[in-house]
């Protein structure tokens, strides 16, 4: 079992162990030692480090840079840039590891890292174990002539912008669209407006002025109510909201309807099926709406569920040699275009689907009537075993409340001290009644 790495890197409150400058120096040094073991002796290892817009990113960036340099690893620094851009750059630059300093959709007080292999995929469990095993190693700098050098990548954002644009067919333009972009005061605040501007869209950009403290604050994919209001106010064709590090996306239709990852996944899937580009099947998660699974069955498309987390979706896709999957939170994997989830590319492919259908987003959504879902996060003061007989008993009762026609899922968050409850039923009323029963029972334990 890993001590520091969770399902998606390391994350926590800045200043609380392990999100501290001294730990990040040792983390950089430990990762540098592991890299040195895995590259040829005559080649100096390299790493690319990006960050989102949190004020703590400067401190942690410097700490990582120091640790890597002490281990003899060269460092490329990108400045604020989306997480999927780091996955892209690890491949295009030919570096050994990519690191993104981010706490994703969490508030600015939190920070952490996500790590990528040289192939742009999430770092393997084996390498994370190796790094953890070296964390407590005493730092002994390499000889001065072997210290790692650090340099800024001045064109990193432009490289990523061009990469995203190349995922579209050359004849696509958005001249007829008015689009609201919500950048969450996060890592997409520079690149996303540039991409959609080059495509000719009329843009209204909101939440694109980061100050180090406002990332995700009443903004972005976790607070879509502000995007909904902006779409209605500006009478836009649709709105697009990213999270703080840009690897997930939600949308809002011209009618102000929130469009989640399951609906986005359907639109892309249906588009690829129509144009003959769908390979194999689709991977969802335990949280994926039952409507998407039933639609896949109706269309003859294989569908499988993974555990929650884009890492697990990616693993199952690679096992099956498929390329399309995602989560209802807005993490969409398009392995035909990128090695990891990318909010901007997912939005672009969804728009390509709308252009092909020649439909408004609100019209396209009618093709996939969704089952009502209720999602509730329950803060925990003590750990709850989701496999216990108590949880099994209350789950069975919750299913009975929905007349045996729904689904119930209770799982622990991989990144926060939360228990996540999801109910999905034949009606919103029964799903809500079932969820509130579960919440009351679980809260009685804390």
The single residue of 66, 104, 339, 434 carrying the catalytic annotation is 104
- Give the whole-angstrom CA distance, residue 398 versus residue 99: 42
Identify which of 339, 345, 312, 337 has the alpha carbon closest to the alpha carbon of residue 326.
Answer: 312
The residue length of the chain stands at: 446
Cα 322 → chain centroid: 19
What is the number of alpha carbons within 13 Å of residue 170 lying toward its C-beta?
0
- Give the whole-angstrom CA distance, residue 83 versus residue 98: 10
H or E element, residue 62: helix 56-70
**Cα distances (Å, whole numbers) of residue 17 to 3, 7, 31, 191:** 12, 18, 18, 32
- Any catalytic annotation for residue 346? no
SS3 152: strand
For 276, counting Cβ atoms within 10 Å of its Cβ (0-12 exposed, 13-18 middle, 19+ buried), the class is exposed
- Give the whole-angstrom CA distance, residue 343 versus residue 440: 35
Identify which of 102, 51, 96 has the alpha carbon closest to the alpha carbon of residue 71.
Answer: 96
Neighbours of 361 (CB within 10 A): 24
Q: Which residues contact 219 (CB under 8 A, 6 or more apart)?
A: 182, 183, 184, 185, 206, 207, 226, 241
CB 56 within 8 A of CB 14: yes
Max alpha carbon distance in the chain (Å)? 71
- Give the whole-angstrom CA distance, residue 204 versus residue 181: 6
- Give the whole-angstrom CA distance, residue 425 versus residue 291: 11
Residues with catalytic annotation?
104
């Amino acid at each position: 079992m890993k001590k520091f790495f969770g399902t998606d890197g390391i994350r926590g409150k800045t200043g609380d162990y392990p999100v501290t400058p001294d730990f990040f120096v040792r983390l950089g040094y430990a990762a540098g030692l592991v890299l040195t073991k895995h590259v040829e002796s005559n080649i100096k290892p390299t790493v690319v480090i990006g960050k989102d817009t949190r004020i703590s990113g400067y401190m942690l960036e410097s700490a990582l840079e120091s640790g890597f340099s002490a281990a003899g690893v060269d460092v490329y620094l990108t400045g604020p840039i989306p997480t999927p851009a780091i996955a892209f750059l690890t491949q295009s630059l030919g570096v050994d590891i990519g690191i993104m300093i981010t706490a994703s959709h969490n508030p600015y007080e939190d920070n952490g890292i996500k790590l990528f292999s040289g192939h742009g995929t999430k770092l393997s469990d084996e390498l994370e174990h190796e790094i953890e095993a070296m964390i407590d190693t005493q730092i002994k700098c390499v000889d001065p002539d072997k210290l790692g050098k650090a340099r800024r990548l001045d064109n990193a954002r432009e490289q990523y912008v061009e990469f995203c644009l190349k995922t579209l067919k050359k004849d696509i333009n958005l001249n007829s669209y008015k689009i609201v972009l919500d950048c969450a005061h996060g890592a997409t605040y520079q690149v996303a407006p540039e991409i959609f501007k080059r495509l000719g869209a009329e843009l209204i950009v909101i939440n694109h002025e980061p100050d180090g403290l406002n990332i995700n604050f009443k903004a972005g994919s976790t607070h879509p109510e502000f995007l909904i209001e902006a779409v209605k106010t500006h009478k836009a064709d649709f709105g697009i909201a990213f999270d703080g590090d840009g690897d997930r996306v939600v949308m809002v239709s011209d009618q102000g309807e929130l469009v989640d990852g399951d609906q986005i996944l359907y639109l892309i899937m249906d588009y690829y099926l129509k144009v003959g580009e769908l390979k194999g099947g689709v991977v969802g998660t335990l949280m994926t709406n039952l409507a998407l699974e039933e639609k896949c069955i109706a269309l003859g498309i294989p569908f499988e569920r993974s555990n929650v987390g884009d890492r697990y979706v990616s693993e199952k896709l690679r096992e099956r040699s498929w390329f399309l999957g995602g989560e209802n939170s807005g993490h969409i994997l398009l392995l035909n275009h990128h090695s990891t989830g990318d909010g901007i590319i997912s939005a672009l492919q969804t728009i390509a689907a709308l252009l092909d259908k020649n439909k408004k987003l609100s019209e396209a959504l009618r093709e996939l009537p969704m089952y009502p879902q209720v999602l509730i996060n329950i803060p925990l003061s003590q750990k709850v075993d989701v496999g216990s007989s108590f949880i099994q008993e209350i789950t069975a009762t919750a299913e009975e409340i929905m007349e045996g026609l729904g689904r119930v899922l209770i799982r622990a968050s991989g990144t926060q001290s939360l228990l996540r409850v999801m109910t999905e039923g034949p009606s919103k009323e029964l799903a809500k009644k079932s969820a509130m029963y579960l919440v009351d029972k679980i809260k009685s334990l804390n």
